[in-house]
Structure 1
């Protein structure tokens, strides 16, 4: 008798649920992805997606301008690490956390402020170049550990004002915790059977995630406290005020404290969330982009040679640090980076939630409750916009005039919720790659590129390549 009641209840619940979501099912019929959905979990088992979802810039532009909230099904896992940091903050639900934070964050990433960071990029890239000397002439090696420690040291110096020196001490606890939490987070995103908290929180990997996350929290919290103490003084009336000097360079943390209102501004929690997002995006986005670019130059020697010729025109045979003025002259290198980001975008997809009905240019109406996946990989290879050679690696396409549509190239997303740190990432990549190619010739590995999902799209082999010295000289 009990089983009969359970079956009847389940049947009634299924019918009611389908009736309640009837508008969403209608949209799924009008915008088919060609892949079967399963009961209860729908298409979650196919999280990797299909390039038949949204791959047209015209449609993507409408979605990304109209739907500002990111899909909570996936965001809730990422927020367990970074909370409501700007990139992942809700735009409308339950309230708009993203808008006021974006208003504070955007001016901090001004060109004037970012130009002050170029000496740090140059200093850290020189350390990386020297560390790479041990690999010269020794066959295949993983470039990832060198580039990710470079970007990590650079972002920690620019955001927190601390020298972690992970390039010479790659076992730093924070960096280890950073890599482990990202791995566990991306694993959960890719495994729908781990979505339920009541299941996941009983697994040993959850305990590992919490331990490593809390280590990162303690590290950042301590630096925030030290920075607040450094900036604060006590007036005669015993009240705490903040004194902001005008040095040539201020860290992101200092600017966040100041821009949010000093002692009346961001709380320690809000500062931690924003700093963690800056470290996450500043480390991985720049590292993935630079790593893919290095591998592509190793596999396209004619492209690498053009980059080297441009570097010769700007730097000659000198090893002097790159300057802001130098970076603006590296037009072809920038085109190579952009072409790499087109073919291998660091963030391959973005998911948005529809809160208000949106009509697409095709006439299809997206309704409240629908989750939309915008496939950057497919959009960046759409032959209607990139031509018949869309699958060919050809940097010159970015020097041939404006694109057909502003949304056809969006490695840092698009519209109001685009990545505020895109210029930072480009400056960091141009600095480190210019130093790399000036000193070494990049040669291809025998391993092929195989993409894997680790929150961002990374090479499963660790970006293997070979290098040779361009000049026989001391690198000390």
Structure 2
């Protein structure tokens, strides 16, 4: 009887697998890729080469999908990927397919574990409920003062480079966002702008590059193989450094919160405090609660996050907050250097809203900077920091077109292509035109730089506030120009980009900076 039961289970599995496989093959024939697939590798050969070559393949897949009405299929070894470049199809899939595609996401989980942005629905859903209240507008408005302060520091850090030729603004913006994120998310001051080669930033950049390369190379997917390669040792070293940093901050903050609770007679004394210190961690100094402190407070009152869960969520907030804002602001500056007429309109608005040069940007100012808002959104449309997101169809899903996406299909939503669909953006979809955002969108999913639907990015408003604050502070002081000796023809072409989990400029965002008016050097407090 037992053997018969085993035989039935095996037979059912084989039939189910073959039927599912048959559906995937049929879908691949119905929605072709237009590119030859190699035995075993499928279309994975397209992702060999440099990080720039990888991004070119992502762009190529999006163009093919647009050519076929927004849908195309590609085989990554034995796994079928549906490439989606249609807003209507994206909306259906993002609402019905909440699970992340583990074929890709498990490599990012190497760093962030079960952080909610990459975790399964069973983990994501309860964590989202705990995280969402910390990202409301009222609480985020308190962070604008930090963004303004750190932006002012960045302006001073840039001053020696003004009028001195071509520079990369990336290191300035990424240290600005890192300092801002550490202060608002973790509640610590790192002063990375005065030490741009901060170990955490270097470790994060290196591990992001290693993970992105592994994601698109199936021959690096087997864990047993990857663990014997030098890449793994480098990744493990970076991960350990990042974990140690975050764990120390969490330990410190938990002790601070417990001490405050004891003072209020909420908790008994634990007697096992550890001496760890970071400059400026007191609430009385910061004047607000950091996101980590908000989560810890919740954890002390109700069943909240363990230290491991806090590490995972803190890593997501820190990593995503640092790179997303830095990438978006950097692309915006490059686009403004190529479009001086747009840059002048931004400056005029800043002069009108902020009135005089020394006034720091406030939360009340940001909604009034409507043209700057349109510039940021148009930049995110053409150069979304996260150009692709992935999901998994856990059941057969029918699109509005009647196409059925079978269970087991990996879904790659090509945001880069969705943002360039001429059906929604017009024949000038490749042109930088901020004014297009003064008109309502044709479809709510045609613009999704921070994803869309239930699993969209909680930090969308945080990132927009950070980018607008730093750009406003920067552009009141400086004018940006293209790199010295740049070919005018090249400046009319799209920016050369590469894929490192996030999309970045190949040249690390090079441009020139000139002063707007003679400046008096001030000490930033």
Using structure 2 for the length normalisation, give the TM-score.
0.83
Task: Work out which of the residue numbers 307, 312, 321 in structure 2 matches 1:268.
Answer: 307
Greater CA deviation, 23-32 or 356-365? Answer: 23-32
Task: Work out which of the residue numbers 90, 100, 107 in structure 2 matches 1:77.
Answer: 107
CA 1:15–1:36 in structure 2 vs 1: closer, same or farther (change >3 Å)?
farther
Asked whether the equivalents of residues 257 and 296 of structure 2 are also in contact (C-alpha less than 8 Å), the reply is no
- The question of 1:126 aligning with 2:156 is answered no
What is the match of residue 449 of structure 2? 411
C-alpha separation between the residues in 1 aligned to 2:302 and 2:115?
19
Shift of 1:267: 0.8
- The question of 1:110 aligning with 2:136 is answered yes
Shift of 1:31: 1.9
Q: List per-residue Cα deviations over 1:36-86 (Å, max 9, x = no partner).
A: 333334333345430113111111111111101111011000001001111
Q: How does 1:137-152 map to 2 (within 5 A)?
A: 137-152=163-178
C-alpha separation between the residues in 2 aligned to 1:475 and 1:275?
36
Greater CA deviation, 198-207 or 260-269? Answer: 260-269
C-alpha separation between the residues in 1 aligned to 2:316 and 2:236?
17
What is the match of residue 314 of structure 1? 353
Shift of 1:402: 1.0
What is the match of residue 469 of structure 1? 515
Shift of 1:169: 0.5
Shift of 1:475: 2.7
C-alpha separation between the residues in 1 aligned to 2:193 and 2:418?
36
Asked whether the equivalents of residues 147 and 290 of structure 1 are also in contact (C-alpha less than 8 Å), the reply is yes
CA 1:454–1:363 in structure 2 vs 1: closer, same or farther (change >3 Å)?
same
Q: List per-residue Cα deviations over 1:370-427 (Å, max 9, x = no partner).
A: 011111111111111111111111000101x211110100010000011110000000
- Ranges in structure 1 where 5+ consecutive residues have no aligned partner: 1-13
Asked whether the equivalents of residues 45 and 192 of structure 1 are also in contact (C-alpha less than 8 Å), the reply is no
Asked whether the equivalents of residues 352 and 372 of structure 1 are also in contact (C-alpha less than 8 Å), the reply is yes
Shift of 1:196: 1.3
C-alpha separation between the residues in 1 aligned to 2:520 and 2:266?
57
Structural RMSD (CA)? 2.2
- Secondary structure of the 1:355 match is coil
Asked whether the equivalents of residues 210 and 235 of structure 2 are also in contact (C-alpha less than 8 Å), the reply is yes
What is the match of residue 402 of structure 2? 363
C-alpha separation between the residues in 2 aligned to 1:74 and 1:45?
16
Shift of 1:15: 12
What is the match of residue 288 of structure 1? 327
Shift of 1:101: 0.6
What is the match of residue 60 of structure 1? 90
Q: How does 1:133-282 map to 2 (within 5 A)?
A: 133-233=159-259, 234=262, 238=268, 248-262=287-301, 264-282=303-321
What is the match of residue 503 of structure 2? 457
Shift of 1:300: 0.1
CA 1:258–1:303 in structure 2 vs 1: closer, same or farther (change >3 Å)?
same
What is the match of residue 44 of structure 2? 44
- Secondary structure of the 1:346 match is coil
- Ranges in structure 2 where 5+ consecutive residues have no aligned partner: 1-13, 48-56, 66-82, 272-281
Asked whether the equivalents of residues 20 and 408 of structure 2 are also in contact (C-alpha less than 8 Å), the reply is no
Greater CA deviation, 145-154 or 195-204? Answer: 195-204
Asked whether the equivalents of residues 342 and 409 of structure 1 are also in contact (C-alpha less than 8 Å), the reply is yes
C-alpha separation between the residues in 2 aligned to 1:236 and 1:191?
52
- Secondary structure of the 1:417 match is coil
Using structure 1 for the length normalisation, give the TM-score.
0.92
Shift of 1:18: 6.0
C-alpha separation between the residues in 2 aligned to 1:385 and 1:402?
11
Shift of 1:211: 1.0
Asked whether the equivalents of residues 390 and 412 of structure 2 are also in contact (C-alpha less than 8 Å), the reply is yes
Shift of 1:283: 0.4
What is the match of residue 373 of structure 1? 412
Asked whether the equivalents of residues 159 and 279 of structure 1 are also in contact (C-alpha less than 8 Å), the reply is yes
Shift of 1:468: 0.4
- The question of 1:340 aligning with 2:370 is answered no
What is the match of residue 31 of structure 2? 31
Q: List per-residue Cα deviations over 1:101-159 (Å, max 9, x = no partner).
A: 11111111000110000000000000111111111111111110000000011000001
- The question of 1:424 aligning with 2:424 is answered no
